[in-house]
Amino acid sequence: MALISVIIPALNEAKQIGSCLDQFADQLGDWELLVVDGGSRDDTAALAEAHGAKVIQIHGGRGPQMNAGAAAAEGWILLFLHADARLPPHASRLIHRILAWPGTAAGAFRIRHQPDRWAGTWKASLLKLADLRSRYTHRPYGDQGLFLAKATFEAVGGFPPRPLMEDLAMARRLVKVGRIHTVREAVRTSGRRFESAPIRAFICMNTFPALDRLGVSPERLKRWYGQPR
């Protein structure tokens, strides 16, 4: 199978980055691990290197981070993964199968949020609300593990340098050149962001895409959303 370059944009992810990288020891396939650090004030970069990743340092937000990782990648397939995401088994086989389909521009996984602070409480069931969007949207969010050929990434110009929702802007670029397939298998990701502000998170994930299409500026959306990480 072809080499897959895994690009992980990170900022202060010392608690997550080690286990994120270690998951690839149990994944079949050939993987290149790239962590693009956005100026962490903790041990993210050092831990990433200790767990076998190449570390790139760049500021400017998640979009520029992912573009820098793609530029440094040696694989012909790119997988953009958040530090708190854990892939389903046989992810490499799924990625290769989807990208082999005619007319495909990219693929992504469904998402299943895992409780953090809410573990063992009734509130954990609320995380299913955060999972719903990956079942009905045809334009994946960044936490769904977007994957595509590097040639396709370069052809559409990569991620735009936006302060928020660079993932959906990228999806709009991709649908102009082919289909984006969402596979049934899910990435498991931490519910920490949803748990910290569930009402705000639910409203944002279900209204911001429409506001973005209506022309509300990314800068204004970022002010409404707060810290996007």
Residues 151-204: tens digit of each pLDDT: 999 999 999 887 777 888 899 999 999 999 999 999 988 767 765 665 566 666
Measured distance CA(34)–CA(159) in Å, rounded:
17
CATH classification at residue 105: 3.90.550.10
Domain count along the chain: 1
For residue 166, being part of any structural domain is answered with: yes
Residue where the block lists tokens 């660079």 = 166
For residue 224, being part of any structural domain is answered with: no
For residue 124, being part of any structural domain is answered with: no
- Summarize pLDDT for 80-129 with one digit per residue, the tens: 999 999 999 999 999 999 999 999 999 999 988 765 666 656 655 656 66
For residue 177, being part of any structural domain is answered with: yes
Asked if pLDDT for residue 146 goes beyond 90, the answer is yes
Q: Facing residues of 80 across strands?
A: 7
Helices (H) and strands (E) in the chain, counts: 11, 8
Phi and psi, residue 110, nearest 5°: -70, 170
Residue-level pLDDT at 46: 98
In percent, the amount of the chain with pLDDT more than 70 equals 72
pTM attached to this predicted model: 0.85
For residue 143, being part of any structural domain is answered with: yes
For residue 151, give its domain range: 4-112+139-188
Measured distance CA(136)–CA(95) in Å, rounded:
20
- pLDDT tier, 228 (very low <50, low <70, confident <90, very high otherwise): very low
For residue 200, being part of any structural domain is answered with: no
